[in-house]
Structures are given as C-alpha cells and as structure tokens.
Chains A and B, each alone.
Chain A
Amino acid sequence: MLKQIPLADVHRALGAKMVDFGGWEMPLQYTGIIDEHRAVRAAAGLFDVSHMGEIEIRGPQALDLVQRVTSNNAARLADGQIQYSGLLYEHGGFVDDILVHRVSAGHYFLCVNASNQDKDYEYIVSQNRWDCTVENAGPRYAQLAIQGPRAQEILARLTTADLASIRYYRFVDHEVCGRPARISRTGYTGEDGFEVYLAPADAATVWNALLDAGRDFGIRPCGLGARNTLRMEAGMALYGHEIDASITPLEAGLEWIVKWDKGDFCGRARLEKQKAEGVRRKLTGFEMRGRGIGRDGYEVRVGGKHAGWVTSGGPSPTLNKNIGMCYLPAELAQPGTAIEIMVREQPVEAVTVPIPFYRRPK
C-alpha cells in the first residue's frame, strides 16, 4: 500500500499521472514535464512535496546534537536562518542531505528526504547524548513549493508576510490564506521561490489558492518529473543518485558544507583522512556529443576503459542538450575530458563540463 500525501485526490482531479516514489504515491506530471519545466524557468510552478520529511530537535543542547550529526556549522545560524548540510555517518558517507532551520536557540527544524526520514530519525536518536527531544514530525506537515521568477508576486497575494524582506535561505513563521505557515526562501529548481510548510488539513486550501492567484502569471502545477530535470540543470544532488552512504561530501563536490573549524562531528576523522590522501573520484557534469542520452546507472568509459558511472542524466529542456552528472577518477573529472557513455552496449561520445549547467539570470 502506497503512502498517501494529503492532496493525492486533488492531483488526480487535475489529471496528474501518479507514480510510486519511494513508497509514496506522487504526481509525476500534469501537462507534461517539458511544459512544466519551462513554466518554472519563465514564470512559476507549484509543487506538492508533502512526502518530504521533517524532524524537530528541541532542548537546551539541541545545537550540540545538530552539530554532532551534521557537517555544516549550525552554530553560525541565527533565528530564522537555514543551511544546507550533510547528515553523515562516522565513515563519512551520507545518511542524507538536509536543510537545517534554526527556529530558536533550543529548536531546530530539519527538512529531510522522504524515503530517508525514518532512517534519519533513528540515526539522530542514536547520537543523542544530550537529552534532546527528537521528533519525527513528517505527519504534522504538508509542504508546497512555489518556484520561479514570479513566485514572490503570486505568494504575496495570499499572505501578509513581507516576502521581499525574506532573504535567500531565511524563513518566517507567518500565515498563508490565514493558515499558520512556515515560509522559507529555498527550493530545488535553481530559481527563486519559496517552500511553505503547513498543516496537512490546510494544504488543499493553500494549493488551490496559489493556482488561482498564479493563473494570470502562467503558473503550472508541477510534478516530480520537472522537479528532477530542474534540479539536474541546477546541479543539485539527489540522494540515491549523486550521494548515498558510500559517497562523501568531498567526492560529491560538496566540501562547502563541511566546516573544518566547527569542532568534532560524525565523519570528521574520515573526511580529514580523505582530504589529506586526496579524493580518488569526483562528481562532474557532462554533455552528450553523440546521438543518445546518458541515464542514471549507465557506465562511463574513457579511452575504451571503465572509468565511472552516470548518477543522473537526461534531456535539459532549458539548454536543449542531453546532460548529466557522473563519477570519474579525480584526474579526469575536470571540464573538457572526452568520455564515452555506454548506451545499450554502444559507446556514445560525451564531454565533461562544469556543474551547474544552468544559473538563473540575476
């Protein structure tokens, strides 16, 4: 039995194609992945990401527990500030990649990947030597993401919050449609936009109101298909693809979320060793040159020899190219390396390029 998000019936009524995503029945697409993708780049898209998990850590020593399990430096956060971080094992691999929100000095709110939430919760509890309260709060929250250059104008029609004053990676606890809402200026598309956390019972009202308010702006409901092509163009990691328990932040190009000056944390010793010895494999972007699409899991060869694997790949609707990310030996993982991607037993030419593929115009 698939787990149901609160709005599953609303999505079906909009004509969504529903799929099993990590045990959740989720909308894959409504009008089409390319149409939805372009709407987000040009105007706005609305995503129901209520499958995402939330974990709350409370107590006088909440910061100690957050600092122990994550690689970024949560001590730098002010109230209302957010950071991207790694939840790491002692061996340096990812339990998950997460967003850490500081609600107050004794209260942190973590947004975690849907299929990892139980594992993350148990891992955090196992590291809790400080008598913090750790809550697996997923069922208490729905999450809607409104993304795109018109997102602020649309959301502004439904809230009294001063959206212009919410800077990137900041949030406020306010209201949308008169319902309590946590409004974060974050996203997973490479565009400006907001992620709104609210009670599941309020989700349908806010979803419908956002679609109505955005109609004149060209808003589209968007599914997981467009979410994936958008995040891939923006070079953002997806757990189970670019990162997992066997991959460290140094390999994934995420050393910026490892803060060496923060003191001890899970995985630190292994990461220090890896940094001292040199990282052997690294994530890089690629573009197809030959006819074919490199997709997740396909083998990468260099000069006819096995060299790595594709973590994510597919067409880029913005660039009109076939793009992807792959792991390669560190010495080959720089822009301009000629590689071959094995597409149905045939090598197809590609070349490595920097990540990200797309940056929004300033």
Chain B
Amino acid sequence: MSYPENFRYTKEHEWILVEGGTGTVGITDHAQKELGDIVFVDLPRPGAAVEAGKPLGSVESVKAVSDIYSPVTGEVIEVNELLAAAPEKLNEDPHGAAWLVRIRLSNPAELDGLMSAAEYEAYLGG
C-alpha cells in the first residue's frame, strides 16, 4: 500500500489529513500490519482536549495493547463510530474508512514537525 501524499505522518505511525482547520487522524498501514488482528479500539469522546505527542487512545490486537499518540493539539470533534462495532476495519482500510477521530487544530504550526509521505517511507525503510 502506498502512503497518501496529502497526509502527514508521525514517528509513532499515525497519519493526519488536514482540511480547513480540522485534522482527520488514523494509524498507518505499517502500524496495522505490525499490530496484527485488531480487536478493540478505545477512543476519547467528542469534546476531549488532546495534546500533540500525548496518548489519544489505544488500539488492541489479539496479542497486545498499543497507545495511539495525537499528532496535534486541539479538540476532538468527531469519533469514528464504525470502529466500536468493527475494529477489524482498521486492518482493512487504515487510510480510509477506519479513520479514528477528527480534531480541531489549535496550533497548525505543529504540522511542520510531521513527516511527508516520502519522509515517512524513508523512515520505515531506515
């Protein structure tokens, strides 16, 4: 799977797509492959404040629990309800239907610290 050019990426394998002042956040294809079969997703409620680099929620595979780190600081405005009933969608469509949350950014300058698709692919390759 190729990594979308219009996403920005974290070293912890989250992605963010910013449109207007809102960022859609998910985990990368690499992350879902490393986790294996995903069976549970724990996400904050709308209205929750999140901070760049701090845990946003967690994803559980059969084997283990992994924290998800927020790529940006802001407020959660929407949570993907699909994942409560069908966490396995994260294995199938991590860059699309299985997005995690939408965040209203309070400091868009944080995006400059994230990687481009090319940089992320180089990071995975290294």
Which residue numbers of A lie inside 8 Å of B, CB to CB?
17, 28-29, 32-35, 225, 228-229, 291-293, 295, 314-315, 317, 322, 344
CA distance A28 to B35 in the complex (A): 11
Given contacts A32-B37, A33-B36, contact A314 B62 (CB under 8 A): yes
Q: Which residues of chain A come closer than 8 Å to B62, judged between CB atoms?
A: 33-34, 225, 229, 314-315, 317
Q: Is B40 a contact partner of A225 (Cβ separation < 8 A)?
A: no
Cα(A314)–Cα(B61), bound, Å: 9
Enumerate chain A residues within 8 angstroms of B37, measured Cβ to Cβ.
Answer: 32-35
Q: How far apart are A34's CB and chain B's nearest CB, in angstroms?
A: 5
Q: How far is the CA of A155 from the CA of B92 in the complex (A)?
A: 35
A33–B58 alpha-carbon span in the complex (Å): 19
Assess the A32–B36 pair: CB atoms within 8 A.
yes
Contact B39 A293 (CB under 8 A): yes
Closest 3 CB pairs of A and B: A33-B62, A315-B39, A34-B37
Output the least CB separation between A289 and chain B (Å).
Answer: 14
In the complex, are the beta carbons of A33 and B40 less than 8 A apart? no
Identify which of B36, B37, B65 gathers the most chain A CB atoms within 10 Å of its CB: B37
Residues of B within 8 A of A (CB): 36-37, 39-40, 42, 58, 60-63, 65, 84
Given contacts A17-B36, A292-B40, whether A225 and B58 have CB atoms under 8 Å apart is no
Q: Which residues of B contact A295 (CB under 8 A)?
A: 65
Cβ contacts A to B, 22 pairs, < 8 Å = A28-B63, A29-B36, A33-B37, A33-B61, A33-B63, A34-B37, A34-B62, A35-B37, A225-B63, A229-B62, A292-B40, A293-B39, A293-B40, A293-B60, A293-B65, A295-B65, A314-B62, A315-B39, A315-B62, A317-B62, A344-B42, A344-B58
Bound-complex Cα distance A28 to B61 (A): 13
- Report Cα–Cα, A29/B40, bound state, in Å: 19
Contacts of A322 in B (CB 8 A): 40
B contact residues around A17 at 8 Å (CB): 36
User: Which A residues are CB-close (under 8 A) to B40?
Assistant: 291-293, 315, 322
Closest-CB distance, A217 to chain B (whole angstroms):
23
CB distance from B63 to the nearest CB of A (A): 5
| CB <8 Å contact, B60 and A225 | no
Residues of B within 8 A of A35 (CB): 37
What's the least CB distance linking B49 to chain A, in Å? 18
B contact residues around A344 at 8 Å (CB): 42, 58
Complexed CA–CA distance, A23 and B36 (Å)? 22
Q: Which residues of B contact A29 (CB under 8 A)?
A: 36
Question: Which residues of chain A have C-beta atoms less than 8 A from B58's C-beta?
Answer: 344
Please indicate the chain B residues that have their CB under 8 angstroms from the CB of A32 in the complex.
Answer: 36-37
Q: Distance (Å) between the CB of B45 and the closest chain A CB? A: 13
Given A293-B60, A315-B39, 10 more pairs with CB closer than 8 A? A28-B63, A33-B61, A33-B62, A35-B37, A225-B36, A225-B63, A229-B62, A291-B40, A292-B42, A293-B39
- For B36, B58, B84, the residue with the greatest tally of chain A CB atoms inside 10 Å of its CB is B36
A293 to B59, CA, bound (A): 11
